[in-house]
Amino acid sequence: MYAAHAYLFTCQEFAVWNSNRAVEAIDQHLQYLAEQEEDELPVDTDEALTSELQRQLRDLDLIARYSKDLRHAGLGLPIDTSIRLRMELRAPLSSRE
């Protein structure tokens, strides 16, 4: 969702910051799990980080499909377009699959 908002408001720094933060959050969570476990981590660290980056790429591909609608979004979108995009994008962008 943050990437879509960054696209809407033409602020790519915001999207980059959020992408980095999501990867850092995964890493911090894995470090926390490692501290709680006395054995090995139950999850492969590299696989978890790769999975997060793949999720972000899927989201960017999905957003790119709507580039025609979003091209001039920084200038504002018609309310019906905004509602339609919110309905079509919210669930897929929020999913972990």
Tens of pLDDT, residue by residue, the chain (97 residues): 666 666 667 777 877 888 888 889 988 988 888 887 666 666 788 888 898 889 888 888 888 888 888 777 767 778 888 888 888 888 887 676 6
pLDDT, position 19:
84
CA distances (Å), 22 to each of 15, 29, 46, 49, 55, in order?
Answer: 11, 11, 14, 9, 11
SS3 6: helix
